[in-house]
Amino acid sequence: MAVFFPDVLDKFLTPGFIKKVCERFHYEESYREELAAVAEKMLPFLQREAFWERKESFLRQQAKTGDSDTLCEDVVMSLGEGLDRLQECYEREGLLSESYMAEALAGELLMQGYDAYSRYMEKNTGYHAAAYHFLGSEKEFPLELLPERLKGLTSEVSCNAAFCMTPKKSAVFVAELTRDEKTGCKRVCDTCSKTDCMNRMKANASAAE
Residue type, 116: A
The amino acid at 22: C
How far is C-alpha 97 from the geometric centre of its chain's CA atoms?
22
Q: Point out the residues of the chain with pLDDT beneath 70.
A: 58-69, 184-209
**What pLDDT shows up at residue 137?**
87
pTM: 0.84
**What is the reported pLDDT for 186?**
53
- Cβ–Cβ under 8 Å, residues 50 and 9: yes
Q: Quote the pLDDT of residue 60.
A: 45
Rounded Cα gap, residues 47 and 9, in angstroms:
8
Helix H, strand E, coil C: the string for the chain is: CEECCHHHHCCCCCHHHHHHHHHHHCCCHHHHHHHHHHHHHHHHHHHHHCEEEEEEEEECCCCCCCCCCEEEEEEEEECCHHHHHHHHHHHHCCCHHHHHHHHHHHHHHHHHHHHHHHHHHHHHCCCEEEEEEECCCECCECHHHHHHHHHHHCCCCEECCCCCEECCCEEEEEEEEECCCCCCCCCHHHHCCCCCCCCCCCCCCCCCC
CA dist 199 and 189 (Å) reads: 9
Give the per-residue pLDDT at 152: 85
At 209 the pLDDT is 46
Q: Are 186 and 115 in contact (CB under 8 A)?
A: yes
